[in-house]
């Protein structure tokens, strides 16, 4: 009450100049008060949507995105599917990011075809969509793709396996433990690359499973996980206990396949190959569990993706692919402690210094 009266008295006795100064001060204060929320709202949002949170590959991807977002002052919102192949959760994540006003979305799609309508909706809303690791189908459905050359990754391990076996390659019994039955692009590309490297005739370049090479025992799907790799390998061994070469979509799958082989005493005489080059997988190369893997760099993919979103938010410029390719190639290296002539590779010791960098 006393304050109200003091204000009343001051107002009644104020000169016109003092009143004007008071109005200016109030206006300035109002501008400051309104400026803070506006600046918070203007912070660039970038979304990261991965297949799962359980695969260490995607954990490393999230680590790279977080570090780059903090460095550039962007807000990172992260989402993941409940399992490899969970398209519904990824669709919901895109809807959330559209509603949040995100400027960019970094996506490793579980279903590379089914996710396309949601990606188109995001792009129509003015959001830059970058596919990481796994190209969409078609690849042009995203604004850009930052990925390993997954076909090359498969080709490297396939060629290594063939050269390691030498003359025995013509009588090999080959098992494939792939990702999921819908054959997302990354799954198809690695599988088909292995076949080319090993010398298997590829029929339809857009899918696997139609080959007629008698050396192929069959395909199973491990969902990119250790448990799935074990089950898939058990099924393949029931079909043919004489399997001599195993291709796996990634290193958790390879670890599970190894356990299945070990259970029947076949872990020492089967050639195991894989893709990813994560630190646990490279350790398995060093231990002799995996003969060769192809190393890729998810941290680099993610950090480059965040950087591209920041640039797009500032200038509207979109990233460009590597010349001669439909995507930006983030690199791949063959990792083995048993090198073969004619195929460039690095050792497990070298790979451990850069695993998932």
| Whether 282 and 310 share a structural domain | no
Structure tokens at 276: 């990813």
**Count of beta carbons in the 10 Å neighbourhood of residue 287:** 11
- Model pLDDT for residues 173-229, shown as the tens digit of each residue: 999 999 999 999 999 999 999 999 999 999 998 999 999 999 999 999 999 999 999
Collapsing DSSP to helix, strand or coil, 299 comes out as helix
CATH of the domain at 288: 3.40.50.2300
Give the C-alpha separation, 87 to 109, whole Å: 8
Question: pLDDT value at position 22?
Answer: 41
Please, which residues bridge with residue 176 across strands?
Answer: 219, 247
| Whether 130 and 171 share a structural domain | no
Residue 146 φ then ψ, to 5° = -110, 115
- Model pLDDT for residues 253-307, shown as the tens digit of each residue: 999 999 999 999 999 999 999 999 999 999 999 999 999 999 999 999 999 999 9
Asked if residue 2 is part of any domain, the answer here is no
Range of the domain at 183: 150-295+332-352
Asked if residue 357 is part of any domain, the answer here is no
| Whether 177 and 200 share a structural domain | yes
Asked if residue 70 is part of any domain, the answer here is yes
How far is the first Cα of the chain from the last one, in angstroms, to the nearest whole number?
66
Give the C-alpha separation, 253 to 248, whole Å: 6
Percent of the chain with pLDDT over 90: 85
Q: Confidence class of residue 41 from pLDDT cuts 50, 70 and 90?
A: low
| Whether 129 and 265 share a structural domain | no
| Whether 132 and 181 share a structural domain | no
Asked if residue 14 is part of any domain, the answer here is no
Classify the C-alpha dihedral 325-326-331-333 as positive or negative. Answer: negative
Q: Are 324 and 87 in contact (CB under 8 A)?
A: no
Whole-model pTM? Answer: 0.82
Collapsing DSSP to helix, strand or coil, 278 comes out as coil
| Whether 231 and 346 share a structural domain | yes
| Whether 175 and 102 share a structural domain | no
| Whether 158 and 284 share a structural domain | yes
| Whether 282 and 311 share a structural domain | no
- Model pLDDT for residues 321-349, shown as the tens digit of each residue: 999 999 999 999 999 999 999 999 999 99
């Amino acid at each position: 009450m006393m304050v109200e009266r003091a204000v009343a008295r001051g107002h009644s006795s104020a000169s016109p100049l003092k009143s004007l100064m008071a109005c200016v001060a109030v206006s300035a204060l109002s501008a400051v008060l309104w400026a803070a929320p506006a600046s918070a709202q203007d912070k660039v949002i970038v979304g990261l949507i991965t297949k799962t949170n359980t695969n260490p590959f995607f954990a490393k991807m999230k680590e790279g995105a977080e570090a780059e977002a903090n460095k550039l002052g962007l807000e990172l919102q992260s989402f993941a599917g409940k399992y490899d192949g969970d398209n519904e959760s990824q669709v919901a994540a895109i809807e959330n990011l559209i509603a949040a006003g995100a400027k960019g979305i970094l996506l490793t799609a579980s279903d590379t075809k089914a996710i396309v309508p949601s990606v188109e909706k995001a792009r129509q809303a003015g959001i830059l969509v970058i596919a990481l690791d796994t190209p969409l189908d078609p690849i042009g459905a995203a604004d850009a793709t930052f990925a390993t050359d997954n076909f090359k990754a498969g080709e490297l391990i396939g060629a290594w396996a063939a050269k390691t076996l030498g003359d025995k390659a013509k009588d090999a019994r080959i098992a494939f433990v792939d990702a999921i039955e819908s054959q997302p692009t990354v799954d198809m590309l690695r599988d088909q690359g292995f076949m080319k490297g090993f010398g298997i005739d590829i029929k339809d370049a857009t899918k696997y499973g139609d080959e007629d090479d008698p050396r192929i025992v069959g395909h199973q799907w491990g969902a990119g996980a250790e448990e799935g790799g074990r089950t898939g390998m058990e099924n393949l061994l029931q079909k043919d206990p004489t399997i001599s070469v195993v291709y796996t979509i990634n290193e958790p799958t390879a670890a599970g396949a190894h356990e299945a082989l070990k259970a029947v005493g076949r872990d020492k005489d089967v050639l195991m190959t894989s893709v990813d080059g994560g630190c646990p997988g490279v350790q398995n190369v060093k231990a002799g569990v995996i003969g060769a893997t192809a190393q890729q760099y998810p941290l680099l993919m993610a950090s480059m993706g965040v950087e591209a979103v920041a640039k797009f938010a500032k200038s509207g410029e979109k990233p460009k692919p590597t010349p001669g390719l439909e995507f930006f190639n983030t690199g791949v290296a063959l990792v083995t402690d048993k090198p073969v002539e004619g195929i460039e590779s690095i050792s497990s010791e070298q790979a451990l210094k850069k695993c998932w960098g």
